[in-house]
């Protein structure tokens, strides 16, 4: 009897002990990255993802592509698993192995960090034996958390080192190709067929046709626009249309229609397409002419080219159907315009410009967990700047946003002197103003910013053409009067000085930090003394003119130059001007509105159906953001221009209010400004995991906010402030709260799901 009891007890222990061990473990780290790349181990062949391993790709003569990591300083990241509220990592163990089997056996022959105490889960720098160029390595990680739990090991991720390592350069993924079928093919007449792929994309056409006898020539028309149900063969501007002759071989054959280079967008300044993708063109529609046999969906394939993109990383939906369509178009724009691997201005030139790149960067952060393309573009633009004064200054803005979202300071350290020069502080006069219209510009200053040419102020673009707002002035500058001391230029200069003072602090240049901070303070005083018209309560376009434009007021408000007591008056003037700016300027107009607390007007512009609106791009027939509000405002505009996709960042950053407060999103702010929008929900990717925010809004009466904050992250939550008598509940329990401006503030909110409710 005693023996049976012992056996039963032994069986109980054997059964329960593993369960107890499993209870101490939870999940595993996910979303592994090497040098910020989540697909460092993926191999491609001619642009298509394949199942070949990195070692095979490294040693094969096949046309394989994969990311190449600088072996001198790789850094790792992961998302901390969480199945409980308020989860923080307390330690990790990271292995790097020379082959996958050793890694699987938990043998880190290149590096075994051991149990490393701390919360670091991004930018964990390699600390093992020197890595060799042109080799393949594997790694995995496990973590411990503040609940006393040890995670399972993560999946194993491989990475290949660059064969010729040198100075730090951003690691990037190869461009990806994807086959897409038409959503419709219909016969137009006895020998003409019309195909619609549903949305425009950059690529080329692959087609299977029966040549019968052979020798017949089929005309293949590709384009972005339609007219009266047919492909528009004269769309105007640089809306794309092309025709290609295809001589058929006898019998059934599959053909790839080669896209000939365009002289305008394949010149020395343009970003070339890699050989493995071939040349591409943007198109949505295809017409086959002189082919009498029937054509079905399976005979046509678009080989689409883009930078790897995760469609599931982000989502947004609201009670406003127009806003939803604007979001979807802008999100898709970021994917489809990534075809060159560096942010370019559209298909007309395929040249990187700082203004395009800043908007593109912020939008990319809003729709995908992707940071490398922005970094590669920033490095490119440091040495290939463009002519507008303000756009030189925007390089500093790009560098700070990169650091804020990634937490990685490598680019700040490497390009510190370049960024200092890009503030253009060398042009400053005794009052702190800069000007490119005086004798202060020297060859030395131009060399310091790597520019060979004449800097010119831009304000907005284009400068000429139809404004369409019942005004006489042409272009998109709201009649801006250019003077030696330009208000818009100096607003950008102020922002660059502020950010450079922070960059100096991050990189250990404390004396520089003090200098830039004092320079910013001096400029702010001079700016408000000399450029603000107190009688009218507005900023003028510059010293020596009384003209006040939208731009002279929205940029100071967006960049923190407007004193609190003057914000209301400046906002009133901004409202009076309407959308008197381009799609580029609209980024800063909306930033200004949300900075000033005018959420209702911000919502009005985001969801507008007027001619000068994002919805008008859709109504005009484009599925990708356009370069201008309409063809008539810029007759040579592109229909594939990411600087027109600003809502892809304005919706997550401003309307839903999700922004990093600490580098690498260690702390975030969630500050929704819904205006009268009744309901919305978003999934926003970060390096530390997905931030999920939803709200139900009864304006002025109640506001319910649900947030999901990823592990290893804290948040500052802002909700509407109704009155001192308002009721505030968190997860159903009455909670104390602090008033901060017009918001109810909760500080240091930990990870997990929380429900906040405010009622009057």
Task: Output the pLDDT for position 6.
Answer: 40
pLDDT at 317: 98
Instruction: Report whether 283 contacts 196 (CB < 8 A).
Output: no
* Contact by Cβ (8 Å): 657, 672: yes
HSE-up of 22 (CA within 13 Å, CB side)?
6
Instruction: Band the pLDDT of 469: cuts 50, 70, 90.
Output: low
Whether residue 47 has pLDDT greater than 80: yes
- What does the pLDDT look like over 401-417, one tens digit per residue? 999 999 999 999 999 99
**What is the mean predicted confidence (pLDDT) over 687-691?**
97
Confidence band for 179, pLDDT divided at 50, 70 and 90: very high
Has residue 18 got a pLDDT over 60?
no
What is d(CA 546, CA 92) in angstroms, rounded to the nearest whole number?
A: 61
Q: Give burial (CB, 10 Å; 0-12/13-18/19+) of 465.
A: middle
Q: Which residues contact 371 (CB under 8 A, 6 or more apart)?
A: 36, 364, 365, 402, 405, 406, 687
Q: How far apart are CA 301 and CA 181, in angstroms?
A: 5
Query: Do the Cβ atoms of 615 and 387 come closer than 8 Å?
Result: no
Please, which pLDDT band fits residue 73 given cuts at 50, 70 and 90?
A: confident
Summarize pLDDT for 477-526 with one digit per residue, the tens. Answer: 999 999 999 999 999 999 999 999 999 999 999 999 999 999 999 999 99
Summarised one tens digit per residue, pLDDT across range 309-362 is: 999 999 999 999 999 999 999 999 999 999 999 999 999 999 999 999 999 999
CA angle 637, 640, 642 (to 5 degrees): 105
CB 530 within 8 A of CB 491: no
Is the whole-model pTM more than 0.85?
yes
- Provide DSSP, 365-377: HHHSS--HHHHHH
- What is the percent of the chain where pLDDT is above 70? 95
Q: At 413, which helix (H) or strand (E)? A: helix 410-414
Tokens of 513: 């930090």
Instruction: Band the pLDDT of 164: cuts 50, 70, 90.
Output: confident
Q: What's the token pair of residue 630? A: 């309409």
Tell me: pLDDT of 168 over 60.
no
Alpha-carbon distance of 352 to 584, in angstroms, equals: 15
* Per-residue pLDDT, 588: 98
How many helices (H) and strands (E) the chain has is answered by 18, 36
Yes or no: say if 151 and 27 are a contact pair by the CB < 8 Å rule: yes
The whole-number pLDDT of residue 3 equals 42
- Catalogue all structural domains in the chain, each as residue range(s) with its CATH number: 23-161 (2.60.40.10), 176-306 (2.60.120.260), 311-655 (1.50.10.10), 667-759 (2.60.420.10)
Paired tokens of 19: 């369960």
Q: Is 70 exceeded by the pLDDT of residue 247?
A: yes
User: Mean pLDDT over residues 202-211, rounded?
Assistant: 97
Question: What is the residue whose two structure tokens read 């600490």?
Answer: 662
The confidence score (pLDDT) of residue 370 equals 95
Q: pLDDT, tens digit, for every residue of 532-569?
A: 999 999 999 999 999 999 999 999 999 999 999 999 99
- CA-wise closest residue to 402 among 394, 411, 393: 411
Pick the more confident residue, 7 or 722: 722
- Per-residue pLDDT at 307 exceeds 50: yes
């Amino acid at each position: 009897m005693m023996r049976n009891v012992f056996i039963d007890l032994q069986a109980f222990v054997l059964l329960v002990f593993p369960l107890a061990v499993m209870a101490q473990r939870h999940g595993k780290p996910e979303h592994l990255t090497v040098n910020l790349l989540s697909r460092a181990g993926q191999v491609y062949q001619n642009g298509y993802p394949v199942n070949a391993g990195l070692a095979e790709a490294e040693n094969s003569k096949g046309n394989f592509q994969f990311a190449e990591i600088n072996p001198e300083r790789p850094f790792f990241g992961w998302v901390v698993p969480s199945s409980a509220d308020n989860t923080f990592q307390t330690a990790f163990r990271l292995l790097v192995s020379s082959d996958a089997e050793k890694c699987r056996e938990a043998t880190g022959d290149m590096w075994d960090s051991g149990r490393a105490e701390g919360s670091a889960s991004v930018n964990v720098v390699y600390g093992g034996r020197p890595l060799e160029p042109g080799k393949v390595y594997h790694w995995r990680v496990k973590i411990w958390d503040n609940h006393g739990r040890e995670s399972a090991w993560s999946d194993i991720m491989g990475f290949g080192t660059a064969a010729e390592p040198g100075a730090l350069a951003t690691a990037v993924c190869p461009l990806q190709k994807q086959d897409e079928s038409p959503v419709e093919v219909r016969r137009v007449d006895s020998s003409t067929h019309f195909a619609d792929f549903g949305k425009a994309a950059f690529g080329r056409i692959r087609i299977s046709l029966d040549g019968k006898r052979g020798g017949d020539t089929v005309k293949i028309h590709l384009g972005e626009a339609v007219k009266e149900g047919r492909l528009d063969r004269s769309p105007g501007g640089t809306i794309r249309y092309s025709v290609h002759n295809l001589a058929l071989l006898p019998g059934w054959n599959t053909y790839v229609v080669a896209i000939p280079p365009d002289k305008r967008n394949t010149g020395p300044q343009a970003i070339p397409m890699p050989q493995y993708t071939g040349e591409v063109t943007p198109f949505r529609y295809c017409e086959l002419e002189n082919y009498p046999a029937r054509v079905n969906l399976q005979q046509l394939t678009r080989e689409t080219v883009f930078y790897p993109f995760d469609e599931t990383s982000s989502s947004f939906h609201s009670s406003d159907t127009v806003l939803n369509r604007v979001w979807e178009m802008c999100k898709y724009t970021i994917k489809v315009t990534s075809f060159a691997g560096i942010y370019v201005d559209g298909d007309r030139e395929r040249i990187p410009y700082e203004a395009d790149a800043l908007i593109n960067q912020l939008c990319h952060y809003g729709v995908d967990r992707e940071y490398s393309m922005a970094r590669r573009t920033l490095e490119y633009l440091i040495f290939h700047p463009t002519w507008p004064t303000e756009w030189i200054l925007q390089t500093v803005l790009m560098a700070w946003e990169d650091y804020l979202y990634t937490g990685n300071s490598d680019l700040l350290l490497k390009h510190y002197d370049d960024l200092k020069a890009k503030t253009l502080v060398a042009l400053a006069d005794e009052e702190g103003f800069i000007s490119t219209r005086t004798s202060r510009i020297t060859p030395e200053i131009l060399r310091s910013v790597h520019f060979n040419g004449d800097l010119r102020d831009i304000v907005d673009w284009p400068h000429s053409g139809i404004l369409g707002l019942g005004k006489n002035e042409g272009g998109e500058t709201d009649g801006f009067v250019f003077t030696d001391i330009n208000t818009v230029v100096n607003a950008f200069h102020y922002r660059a000085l502020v950010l450079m003072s922070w960059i100096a602090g991050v990189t250990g240049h404390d004396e520089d930090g003090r200098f830039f901070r004092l320079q910013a303070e001096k400029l702010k005083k001079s700016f408000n003394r000399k450029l603000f018209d107190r009688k009218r309560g507005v900023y003028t376009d510059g010293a020596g003119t009384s003209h006040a434009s939208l731009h002279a007021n929205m940029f100071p408000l967006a960049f923190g130059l407007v004193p609190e007591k003057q914000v209301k008056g400046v906002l009133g003037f901004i409202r009076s001007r309407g959308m008197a700016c381009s799609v580029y300027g609209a980024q800063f107009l909306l930033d200004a509105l949300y900075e000033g607390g005018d959420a209702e007007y911000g919502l009005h512009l985001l969801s507008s159906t007027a001619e000068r609106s994002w919805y008008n791009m859709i109504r005009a027939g484009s599925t990708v953001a356009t370069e201008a509000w309409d063809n008539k405002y810029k007759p040579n505009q592109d229909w594939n221009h990411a600087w027109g996709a600003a809502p892809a960042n304005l919706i997550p950053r401003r309307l839903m209010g999700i922004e990093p407060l600490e580098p690498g999103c260690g702390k975030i702010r969630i500050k929704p400004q819904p205006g009268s929008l009744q309901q919305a929900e978003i999934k926003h990717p970060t390096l530390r995991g997905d931030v999920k925010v939803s709200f139900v809004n009864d304006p002025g009466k109640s506001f319910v906010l649900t947030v999901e904050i990823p592990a290893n992250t804290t948040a500052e939550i802002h909700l509407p402030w109704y009155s001192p008598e308002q009721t505030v509940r968190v997860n159903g329990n009455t909670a104390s709260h602090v008033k901060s401006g017009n918001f109810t503030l909760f500080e240091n909110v930990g990870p997990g799901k929380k429900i906040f409710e405010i009622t009057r």
